[in-house]
């Protein structure tokens, strides 16, 4: 197998690995029709700017154990300024040493530790002038006695002193100094004319190491400044265009680099499933807004649509959240489905799931109300002496039981209308919408409205006709 055949095979395997788990199409559905290869000359520019700064920090308490003590704040500042001057003087040599240590273009990036030797933390401590290092200040109301002529001092609560605020009751203050180094790295590519998908993919390359993963990279030029290093590299990337035929559709996919990496799958999934989406949208147009029974056309269209797993994943995203849909299509799917397809699919599958569930829940709702009311009437009538004071709670409990039973019955009916995998996917789409919660609220309100009047009528009649207490 020559280099071109290896690239074609790599692109084919990536297409199958991306599309097969998402759709009902398998590898036998894809056929390579033709391919073309080209070489793409890429120039990469890398720049690192180094900056040093001194950080000073003042705090309460004695000097931390990991800090090196100096005699005064002036001594700390003078020493750290010497460290800064030394670091700036050694920086050009360190930058050259880092560059020469790079075994290849894919070597480690420039880090702060490459640019200087951290001198550590230095500091000084002083005794608090206000409390003379005790951390306490004598109470000026009782003169440190804790008592006054009329009894205990209320200001210090009999202690005789209070904590010193300037030093945080520690008796000391300290000042620390550190030398920090930051490295700002920039990377950009110069690209000649090429396919849009390849250009977008290469523009996302943010590091030299990512470029070297695509093709061998060679150093072209390097320059050093007092606090910077600039390097220029050249790489030649093989780019292959593969024409793929699947389900009567022709797709053009590009791969780049020695592994033929596909940056964008050119809406393959969206085009393959376009027919399923259009049939679902058409079924939604012809289906009644409030279906009271199963609709064969809508069930068939939704079942075919959810047989592709990607449609379930898209259906769990709220189409009103445009940024989330775009991120899913471009990042998770890597262009296998367009943003337009994802938005249309999310709207259609969520609307279809809602209507299908509605067609399955109306019969359980009616049955629950018809059965629940007589059962509750009989129950309360038989236990009215026991439950008449808890009629609201009894009615609410009966309504909740009825709602749970109706929902379980509705989901059982859905499970019988679709195969197990599609029913499971439909259930997950429903859980990602407000459909279930809306119907739960509607069922609960209807059940309460049906049960509660009967409960109060029975309690009233029993109180009216029962024996009166003297």
DSSP for 125-166, written as a single string: EEE-TTTTTSSEEE-TTTTTSSEETTEE-TTTTTSSEEE-TT
Domain ranges of the chain: 3-46+185-275, 53-183, 276-465
Q: What is the pLDDT of residue 283?
A: 92
**Alpha carbon 133 to its chain's center:** 52
- Distance, in Å, from the CA atom of 28 to the CA atom of 434, rounded to the nearest integer, reads 39
Where helices occur in 41-143 by DSSP H, the ranges are 73-101, 112-115
Answer whether 0.85 is exceeded by the pTM.
Answer: no
Phi, psi torsion values for 194, nearest 5 degrees: -160, 180
* Structure confidence by residue, pLDDT tens digits, 321-361: 989 999 998 888 888 999 999 999 999 999 998 888 888 88
Kindly compute the dihedral angle of the four CA atoms of residues 440, 443, 445, 448, in this order, to the nearest 10 degrees.
-120
DSSP for 316-337, written as a single string: TS-TT-HHHHHHIIIIISTTSS
pLDDT surpassing 60 at residue 99: yes
Which of 43-47, 112-116, 157-161 shows the lowest mean pLDDT across its residues?
157-161
- Distance, in Å, from the CA atom of 259 to the CA atom of 239, rounded to the nearest integer, reads 10
Which of 54-58, 224-228, 243-247, 278-282 shows the lowest mean pLDDT across its residues?
243-247
| Helix, strand, coil in percent for the chain, rounding step 5 | 50, 20, 30
pLDDT surpassing 50 at residue 112: yes
Q: What is the pLDDT of residue 460?
A: 61
Which of 195-204, 267-276, 344-353, 410-419 shows the lowest mean pLDDT across its residues?
410-419
* Mean pLDDT for the chain overall: 85
Which of 229-243, 251-265, 335-349, 372-386 shows the lowest mean pLDDT across its residues?
372-386
């Amino acid at each position: 197998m020559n280099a071109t055949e290896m690239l074609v095979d790599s692109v084919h395997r990536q297409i199958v690995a991306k599309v097969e788990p998402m759709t009902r199409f398998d590898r036998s559905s894809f056929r390579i029709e033709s391919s073309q290869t080209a070489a793409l000359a890429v120039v990469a520019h890398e720049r690192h700017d180094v900056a040093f700064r001194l950080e000073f920090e003042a705090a309460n308490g004695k000097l931390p154990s990991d800090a090196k003590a100096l005699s005064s704040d002036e001594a700390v500042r003078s020493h750290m300024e010497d460290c800064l001057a030394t670091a700036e003087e050694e920086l050009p040599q360190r930058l050259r040493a880092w560059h020469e240590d790079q075994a290849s273009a894919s070597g480690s990036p420039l880090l702060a530790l490459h640019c200087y030797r951290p001198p550590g933390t230095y500091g000084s401590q002083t005794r608090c002038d206000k409390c003379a290092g005790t951390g306490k200040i004598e109470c000026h109301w009782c003169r440190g006695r804790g008592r006054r002529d009329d009894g205990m001092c209320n200001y210090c609560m009999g202690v005789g002193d209070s904590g010193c605020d300037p030093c945080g009751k520690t008796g000391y203050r300290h000042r620390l100094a550190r030398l920090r180094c930051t490295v700002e790295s920039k990377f950009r590519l110069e690209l000649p004319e090429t396919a849009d998908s390849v250009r977008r993919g290469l523009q996302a390359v943010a590091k030299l190491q990512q470029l070297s993963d695509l093709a061998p990279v060679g150093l072209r030029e390097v320059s050093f400044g007092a606090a910077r290093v600039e390097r220029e590299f050249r790489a030649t990337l093989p780019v292959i265009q593969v024409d793929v035929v699947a389900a009567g559709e022709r797709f053009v996919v590009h791969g780049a680099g020695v592994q033929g990496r596909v940056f964008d799958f050119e809406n393959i999934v969206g085009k393959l499933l376009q027919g399923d989406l259009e049939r679902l949208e058409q079924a939604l147009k012809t289906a009644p807004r409030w279906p009271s029974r199963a609709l064969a056309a809508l069930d068939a269209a939704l079942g075919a649509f959810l047989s592709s797993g990607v449609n379930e994943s898209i259906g769990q995203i709220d189409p009103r959240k445009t940024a989330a849909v775009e991120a899913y299509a471009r990042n998770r799917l890597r262009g296998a489905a367009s943003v337009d397809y994802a938005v249309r699919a999310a709207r259609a599958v969520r609307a279809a799931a809602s209507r299908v569930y509605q067609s399955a829940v109306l019969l359980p709702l009616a049955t629950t109300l018809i059965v629940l009311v007589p059962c509750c009437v009989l129950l309360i009538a038989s236990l009215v002496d026991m439950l008449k004071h808890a009629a609201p709670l009894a009615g609410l409990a009966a309504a909740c039981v009825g709602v749970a039973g109706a929902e379980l019955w509705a989901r059982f009916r859905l499970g019988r209308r679709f195969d197990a995998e599609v029913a499971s996917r439909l259930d997950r789409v429903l859980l990602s919408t407000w459909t279930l919660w809306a119907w739960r609220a509607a069922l609960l309100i209807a059940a309460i409205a049906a049960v509660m009047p009967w409960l109060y009528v029975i309690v009233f009649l029993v109180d009216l006709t029962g024996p009166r207490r003297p």
